Chain A
Amino acid sequence: MKIDVEAKPSYGLAVVTLDKGESFISESGAMVAMSSGLKVDTKFNGAGDGSFMGKVKAMLVGLARKFLAGESLFINQFDAESDGQQVMIAPTLVGDVEKIRLKDGKKITVQATSYLGSGKNIDVGLIWGGFSMLFGGEGAFFLECTGKGPLLINAYGAIEKVEINGGYVVDTGHVVGWEGDLEYKIKKAGGWKSTLLSGEGLVLEFTGTGTLWLQTRNLGSLLGWITPQLPG
């Protein structure tokens, strides 16, 4: 399997090339174009097994993801029936797409709305970030990804990688994901006056060592900017 990401960082497009027998999973609605030798199967977005209870659990998890986190209820699995089959995948939002290679023992945590696609051997689990995260203005759901293979994430804006060694403070609206030995705390941006008036609100303070992925725009600011310009 080969994955090339084109048109970074504004309209990232992942071009996935599969050989016979290989598979790729993506969010529903993300397919832009594909070769004719790919079989498509649509499933509920939950890592359930094939049993009845597994399917029920998958459905509940899928529903939780949809209504609380904005992820789609369904995923598409593309299976190649011959060599050199291509599927091109893109998110709905304008912005970057990044490919991350997961290895055994590595765990990546991403914003629930940032999941775009992954290889078959990646496990994606839903975690609840806690109530304080909700007040940070972003969704409080995160996805924990483990396993072996490729993971595709998307963002509104360009994705910037920041290596943390010590401490770093981030505006919650700009966090895409992180990995490594990192702890985080929700804090006020400055004193009370700053928190209310600075436009920054709450921030996340990371400590430890690891990698942080940021997006260089946030949807809330875009909406705030365009709303006064809309006709009644």
Chain B
Amino acid sequence: MQIQVHHRPSYALAEVLLDDGETVVAEGGAMVSQDTHVTLETSASGDKKGGLMKGLMKGLKRALAGESFFQNRFTANGAPGHVTFAPTFQGDIVVHEMSQAAVMLQSTAYLCGSPTIELDTKWGGAKTFFGGEGLVMLKATGTGLLAFNSFGAIKEIEVDGEFIVDTGHIVAFEEGLTFNVTKFGGGWKSFIFGGEGLVCSFSGKGKLWIQTRNSTAFGQLLGSKLPPREA
């Protein structure tokens, strides 16, 4: 399987090239176009083992993480085939080759990947990432290709030491990094008036992916200018 990303960073499209018999797993609703001989199967979990209940539980956990309940499996039947995927928001897509380090992803960042990648909802705990950014991070483990998306352009940063990021701009990070949520600027004045609220301080060594825009802030800006809605 190969995944090529076109039109970075604003309207990125992931083109997956499958060999005959190969499968790619994707978030529900992400398919834009496909060859006719690529078949679709919808399931609640990434693998067939474990029975219906286990599958449903995983689906539920994922739904609470902001990902859709079900995942779609696209398989090329009889010949190599291609499928293209795009996320909901404007923004970027990055393809990461998973080997050893697990990757923690922002709840809405998962797009598609090899079926050998396990996705689990990790409850980050009350001290992490609240304030509308999403309580939940998805943990991806296994080997293979993982494609994740963002709102804004994705910038990869190699952390070596300490680095501070506004919580709304975090896309994903490798498990080797430890994080600590603190007030912006260290004092109360900056915390309340500095416009940042909580920030996340990463330390250690590992890859961190940030996005150059914040979807919640953008949604609020546009939403405030639109006509009001029914409750």
Contacts and interface: CB of A to CB of B under 8 A. Distances in A.
Interface of A: 6-7, 10-13, 27-36, 40-42, 72-74, 76, 88, 90, 92-94, 219, 222-223, 226-227, 230-232
Contact of A7 (B9, B157, B226): B9
A223 B222 contact: yes
B212 A40 contact: no
A125 B169 CA distance: 31
A11 B190 contact: no
Given A10-B9, A29-B217, A33-B157, A74 B185 contact: no
A125 B165 CA distance: 31
B213 A94 contact: yes
B78 interface: no
A10 B89 CA distance: 13
Interface of B: 9-10, 90-92, 152-153, 155, 157, 161-166, 169, 184-186, 189-190, 193-196, 199, 201, 210-214, 217-218, 221-222, 225-227, 229-230
Given A35-B164, A74-B193, A93-B218, A13 B153 contact: yes
Given A13-B153, A92-B217, A94-B152, A32 B166 contact: yes
B162 A40 contact: no
Q: Which of A7, A34, A230 has the most CB of B within 10 A?
A: A7
B217 A33 contact: no
Nearest to A9: B10
29 contacts: A10-B10, A10-B90, A11-B10, A11-B213, A12-B212, A13-B153, A29-B217, A31-B184, A31-B194, A31-B196, A32-B169, A35-B162, A36-B162, A36-B164, A40-B190, A42-B190, A42-B193, A42-B194, A73-B193, A74-B193, A76-B185, A90-B213, A93-B218, A219-B225, A223-B222, A227-B226, A230-B226, A230-B227, A230-B229
A128 to B, nearest CB: 22
B196 A29 contact: yes
B227 A227 contact: yes
Contacts of B164: 33-36
Contacts of B229: 230-232
A33 B163 contact: yes
Contacts of B196: 28-29, 31
A51 to B, nearest CB: 20
Given A7-B212, A36-B163, A74-B194, A13 B225 contact: no
A10 B153 contact: yes
A223 B9 contact: no
A29 B218 CA distance: 12
A30 B197 CA distance: 11
A45 B226 CA distance: 27
A143 B2 CA distance: 50
Contact of A40 (B169, B186, B210): B186
A57 to B, nearest CB: 18
Contacts of B157: 33
